[in-house]
Structure formats: C-alpha cells, structure tokens
Amino acid sequence: MDSPQTLFEKVWRPHEVAAETPDTPAILYIDLHLIHEVTSPQAFTVLRERGLGVRRPELTFATMDHSTPTRTEQVFGGAPIAIEAAARQVRELEVNCHAFGVELLGLRHARRGIVHVIGPELGLTQPGKTVVCGDSHTSTHGALGALAFGIGTTEVGHVLATQCLLQKKPRTLAINVNGRLAAGVTAKDLILAIIGTIGVAGGTGFVIEYRGATIRALDMDERMTVCNMSIEAGARAGMIAPDETTYAYLAGRLRVPQGEAWEQALEEWRQLPTDAGARFDKEIDIDAAALEPMVTYGTNPGMVIPISGSIPQRPGDAMFAKSLAYMGFEPGRPVAEQPVNVVFVGSCTNGRLSDLRDAASLLRGRKVAPGVQMLVVPGSKEVKRAAEAEGLHTVFLEAGAEWREPGCSMCLGMNGDLVPKGQYAVSTSNRNFEGRQGVGARTLLASPLTAAASAVRGRVTDPRELL
C-alpha cells in the first residue's frame, strides 16, 4: 500500500518530469501559466534573442492589470492612459501575445481583471494543477487545490520556452484552524492573525496547507483571501483541499471540462485531499473563535493587532521604532480611532463580489465621512457586472465613494492611483510596506468590513459597532 500523502505531494509528484537528485533540482511541469504586462516583457525579449517560441500557448494566458488605468475614460476611450510608460507596457503585451500566439484579455475585454481574480473565475484554475505567474500572489489559486506559486521573470521565460521549471521541493506546513469566526470577523482577519502569529518569514521554504473545520466552512472567495496572503508569511504557496464547495464553485465555468470530462475530472479531484495519517514537516494550530477584526500598525503585514488592542512596546528594537516613526505611531497606543484620509476596497485579496457585498452592507444608507476619499475597485469586469446587477455600485456612489474599472489600482499604485504622502489609508490589499501605496503613504491593512466602517466614521473603526 502507498504511504499516506499530503495534498501537496499528490499535486507535485505527477508533475515531475524529472525528480530532484543530489545534483539537480526537480523539473516540474506547469499546467497553467498566467502572464501580465509588468513581469513578462523581458521574458519575451529572451525568447526573441534566442529564437524560441512559446512551447504551449494553449496553456498560457495573458491579462493586464498592474499598470492599467481604473478611470473609465482611460480604459474605454476619451482620454489617453495617463502614464506613458504604462501605456507602453500595455502595447508591448498586445504585441507579444499576438506574435507568440498567446490568448490575451486586453484592456477593453469583457472578462479582464486582476490575474488572480480571473484565473479561478474563468475556471482556468482547477484542483490538482500546477499554476504559475510572475507575481507573488499566485498563491491565491491554491484555494482551489492547485499548487500555485509566484516566479520571477527569468522563470517566466523558462515556462514560456519549455513549459517547465527547475524547482527544489518545498517542505509542508499544516495550519489547522478550528472554531467559528465571530460576527464581523472575516477570512482577512484570520489570515492577518495567522501572519501575526507565525511572522513574515514563518512560512519561508514551506507550502502551507490550511486545514480544519473553519477552513472547510469558508466559501471560495474567503478561501482565496486566505491563500492569497500566504506569501506575506513567506510561503510561496498556500493550498486548501478541494471539496463540494470547490466543485460547486467551478461547475459550469467557462474553461472547466464539460459533460463526461467534468465527471472524470471530479473523480480525479476527489482523490486529492491529504490522506489520514500523512505527515507534515510542521504543524500549527489556530483558534478562530478567539479572533477579533485585525488591523496592521506597521510596515509589514506581521505587524498586526486586534482592533481593540494597542501597539506593542519593543524597547531597543531600532527597526520597530523606525517602522512606527514612518507610520507616525507610538508604542502602547491603540490604532482604533486613528483618523483616516483614504479607504481602498479592492485588490486580489479583497476585490471579489463577497468583499464588495461586505463593504456595501455597512455603507448602505450611510455616508463616507467628510474629507475621506474612498475608492472601490472591483477585481474583474465580471465582479463589476455582478456587483452592478445587485445595485452595489449605487450603494457606493450614494455613500460618496468612487466606483472604478477593475485592476490592481491603489494596491501598488503603479497606475497613478496613489495615497498622498503622510496620509493614512485603510486598505483591503495585502501589503503595508513603506511607500507601497505611494511615497510616504501610511497603510493600515484590514478587512472590507473594517475598511467600510472606517470610511463611515473617518477613523479606524471596529465594524462590529456598525453591524
């Protein structure tokens, strides 16, 4: 009898073109390669220089999201893309996809969106697949039981040319989550709490499998939020075993197998969950019932506290002091009640329909506080359409928020959607690094509920006060 295997091993093994040896890494076959405008141009240049083509264009899929505008007139005409270099990247991706036969969801395509939102949405991401993209939040796709991780541009070139990557086999980390999340506490709060517990390097060298009753009870949007931020704990990939929730989500999507092939795929997917008795290299237990809404106070996602808590004291830690100085905070004080200038709801972490519903639920019949700019950016055109069909956009607009075209937007500010210097932003994105949302911008990461509550009050607010 075969020894019990983890989900990770069950995906990794069948993709080994050649297993790891003492002298060489494994050659791993890639089932789905997602590309975008920022990390692909130099890879295509290498293909050209070496006279190579794309080995499996039908397994390669392109979109544009990072540097694209979110203002309707810049997307659909009437105004040029404000940043010339961004416009050049968009054009270059169009040219490359055309020349190499890669399918592209271009700027005006009805299904364009953030790469990690549209992969699952289109049914491209499936259980058991290996998925890569030149972007660290590729870990998102692990929510469907895929092995998905971010790669650099040189590796993008490797996959384009050979459909393979040289990889050292990572170790496995089980994060067992049990207990019911309280009202007002979301998947975002859960993953922030996990990162706060294991630290921003706690997952380095590991693939995480999120397990336990709490994870099983999450819907797909929530599972994606959790897996998305695996990289903020240093783990390249986060995975959740596929189950009926996964299959119900995938059923009928555009690119999933249909008819008899669907039945056969289901049969295979049902074999994927970790066997009883399989060993992980490391295990951690988290009690979800004890969690509160979480908010970051520093300049990495591990610097996070419950919203009712206070910033810790770390005398003698110069880095900590520097980080707080950047944020304009002192140790020992709470973050709640901090006045905010900007609120951003969006990104591949929290730009899906359920996130927008959460934010709208607190904004309905309320107003964004005077002086606060609130930006709501759907993760994809599909999310935008679905939200508009429910009237969510009206809720946002009537509350005084802006409703934009999909893209990464203020998550990294490449397209000009920036937080002004020194201002405080409550953001549903994933990184609060210095300058991430603009030079001198001060980012507080939180859930869509906390973001919306903070927009209404104009200060960092526990969403449970408005539920």
Interaction residues for another protein, span 8-37 (CB under 8 A): 17-18, 22-25, 27, 29, 31-32
Query: What x/- string results for residues 339 through 378 when contact with ligand SF4 is judged by CB under 6 A?
Result: --------xx------------------------------
| Beta strands per DSSP E along 30-168 | 32-35, 60-63, 103-105, 130-133, 147-150, 164-167
As a whole number of angstroms, the distance between CA 211 and CA 317 comes to 35
Residues 84-123 that bind another protein (CB under 8 A): 85-86, 88-89, 92, 123
Residue 348 binds what, of another protein, ligand SF4, none (CB under 5 to 8 Å, by partner type)? ligand SF4
Residue among 18 and 183 whose Cβ is closer to another protein: 18
CB of 273 to another protein, least distance (A): 18
SS3 category, 387: helix
Contact 443, 318 (CB under 8 A): no
Q: Establish if 236 lies at the interface with ligand SF4 (CB under 6 A).
A: no
Residue among 236 and 381 whose Cβ is closer to another protein: 236
Residues 116-155 that bind another protein (CB under 8 A): 123-124, 126, 134-136, 150-155
Residue among 338 and 380 whose Cβ is closer to ligand SF4: 380
Q: Establish if 251 lies at the interface with another protein (CB under 8 A).
A: no
Among residues 137, 223, 442, 459, which is the contact residue for ligand SF4, using CB under 6 A?
Answer: 137
Residue 25 binds what, of another protein, ligand SF4, none (CB under 5 to 8 Å, by partner type)? another protein
| Burial readout 275-302 (b: 16 or more C-beta within 10 A, e: otherwise) | eeebebeeebebebeebbbbbbbbbbbb
Q: Establish if 271 lies at the interface with another protein (CB under 8 A).
A: no
Question: Tokens representing 44?
Answer: 């295509």
Residue among 31 and 65 whose Cβ is closer to ligand SF4: 65
SS3 category, 15: helix
SS3 category, 271: coil
Q: Establish if 412 lies at the interface with ligand SF4 (CB under 6 A).
A: yes
Reference 446, options 436, 457, 458, 432; nearest CA is: 432
Residues 56-115 that bind ligand SF4 (CB under 6 A): 65-66, 114
Residue 92 binds what, of ligand SF4, another protein, none (CB under 5 to 8 Å, by partner type)? another protein
Question: Tokens representing 15?
Answer: 């993709």
Q: What is the DSSP string of 319-339?
A: HHHHHHHHHT--TT-BSTT-B
Q: Euclidean distance between the first and final Cα of the chain, in Å?
A: 53
